[in-house]
Amino acid sequence: MILVIGATGHVGSELVRLLAERGTPARALIHSPDRAASIQRLGLEVALGDFEQPDTLDAAMAGCDHVFLLSPPHPRQPEQEQHVIDAAKRAGVGHVVKQSVPGADPDAGVVFGRWHAQIEQSLAQSGLAHTLLRPSYFMQNFLMSAQLVAEQGVLYGMTGEARISYIDASDIAAVAAQVLTSPGNHGTSYMLTGPEALTAAEVAERLSAATGRQVRYVNMPPEAFRQALAGAGLPGWLVDALVEGNTMLAAGHGATVTDEVARLTGRPPRTFEQFAADHRAAFGGEPSN
């Protein structure tokens, strides 16, 4: 039995679908009962749990031998994932697959990197067999800008001319499904990327082609980008983290392209053209037939 933690996000929802498709016994940890129906329709189990209530994690892990660990960004993310690791150890889980970030390091220039380094260290010290997935920047993150693109024909950002190897979340899920159901991945880490590194202007070109409408990229100074994020209602800690992360990307730290997705899944990673075509309506294009 595989316990999927983070089962309702971009990666987790695709992962539970893939596991159900394979007929793999799996259970999804959810935080609210109203998220249960879509998972139960797949024929999978659900368990209510809370990162801050370890007894709920113990109940969710009963009978599980594998755990996929993904929690949303949060100032207490290291503590929350520590609770999961502790529960996995109590339950005698045989393998934990953790979704981390590139450049996870105690001295990383991005808070997400520091948080995940702390979690990775906790996992290593736990003695649990584990695998680390370190995916690059998600294509799905552009959906947060979809309304502005649809209304104004403008994609705003602060990465300048830097190239970034955007990855579709479905490819991360495909790798996770493979690693969770195949031997030989203990003690390994995989840097996952898309098939190419694109500039934001090239992303805009692909959105233009998919929607049939002109989309242009407008680069913003960091302070203007910060104000835009704050104006959208994001909490201060997240605004700071996103500005840090985009500063690193603008400096060229997101350009690496690997072949790990193809090697682990047996198929090439999805292109940004495919992502844009799938979401053309969100970005202002005509829905596909």
Helix (H) or strand (E) holding 135: strand 130-135
* Coarse DSSP helix, strand, coil percentages of the chain, rounded to the nearest 5 percent: 45, 15, 35
Helix (H) or strand (E) holding 55: helix 54-61
Residues 162 and 197 in one domain: yes
What is the spatial distance between Cα 22 and Cα 6, in angstroms, rounded to a whole number?
Answer: 19
The answer to whether 142 touches 210, Cβ cutoff 8 Å, is no
What is the 3-state secondary structure of 183-198? CCCCCEEEEECCCCCE
Mean pLDDT of 151-173: 97
The answer to whether residue 179 is domain-embedded is no
Is the pLDDT assigned to residue 46 strictly greater than 70? Answer: yes
The answer to whether residue 100 is domain-embedded is yes
pLDDT value of residue 289: 58
What is the spatial distance between Cα 128 and Cα 106, in angstroms, rounded to a whole number?
Answer: 21
Number of domains in the chain: 2
Residues 104 and 9 in one domain: yes
CB count within 10 Å of CB 33 equals 9
Residues 6 or more apart in contact with residue 150 via CB below 8 angstroms: 282, 283, 284
Is the pLDDT assigned to residue 38 strictly greater than 70? Answer: yes
What is the spatial distance between Cα 121 and Cα 100, in angstroms, rounded to a whole number?
Answer: 12
Calculate ∠ Cα 122-164-284, nearest 5°: 110
Q: Which two tokens stand for residue 108?
A: 């990383």
Mean pLDDT of 76-89: 95
Q: Which domain holds residue 275?
A: 137-167+193-255+270-284
Q: Give the model's confidence band at 37: pLDDT under 50 very low, under 70 low, under 90 confident, else very high.
A: confident
The answer to whether residue 178 is domain-embedded is no
Greater confidence, 287 or 13? 13
pLDDT digits (tens, 9 = 90+) for 261-282: 999 999 999 999 999 999 999 9
Domain of 198, CATH number, reads: 3.90.25.10
- DSSP classification of residue 73: -
pLDDT value of residue 288: 64
CB count within 10 Å of CB 154 equals 14
Domain boundary, last residue among 86, 113, 135: 135
Mean pLDDT of 70-95: 94
Strand partners, 66: 2, 95
Mean pLDDT of 69-74: 92
Residues 144 and 82 in one domain: no
The answer to whether 95 touches 65, Cβ cutoff 8 Å, is yes
Mean pLDDT of 178-182: 95
What is the spatial distance between Cα 145 and Cα 135, in angstroms, rounded to a whole number?
Answer: 20
What is the spatial distance between Cα 180 and Cα 287, in angstroms, rounded to a whole number?
Answer: 35
What is the spatial distance between Cα 232 and Cα 146, in angstroms, rounded to a whole number?
Answer: 14
pLDDT value of residue 255: 97
Residues 55 and 145 in one domain: no
pLDDT digits (tens, 9 = 90+) for 192-248: 999 999 999 999 999 999 999 999 999 999 999 999 999 989 999 999 999 999 999
Where do the H-state alpha helices sit in 127-235?
146-152, 169-181, 200-211, 222-231
Domain boundary, last residue among 115, 135, 155: 135
Mean pLDDT of 162-172: 98
pLDDT value of residue 34: 84
The answer to whether residue 77 is domain-embedded is yes
The answer to whether residue 172 is domain-embedded is no
pLDDT digits (tens, 9 = 90+) for 108-118: 989 999 999 99
Residues 51 and 93 in one domain: yes
Residues 148 and 275 in one domain: yes
- Distance linking the first and last C-alpha atoms of the chain: 38
Identity at 104, one-letter amino acid code:
A
Residues 130 and 143 in one domain: no
The answer to whether residue 182 is domain-embedded is no
Closest CA to 19 of 45, 56, 37: 45
What is the spatial distance between Cα 207 and Cα 213, in angstroms, rounded to a whole number?
Answer: 8
The answer to whether residue 162 is domain-embedded is yes
pLDDT value of residue 272: 98
- DSSP classification of residue 268: P
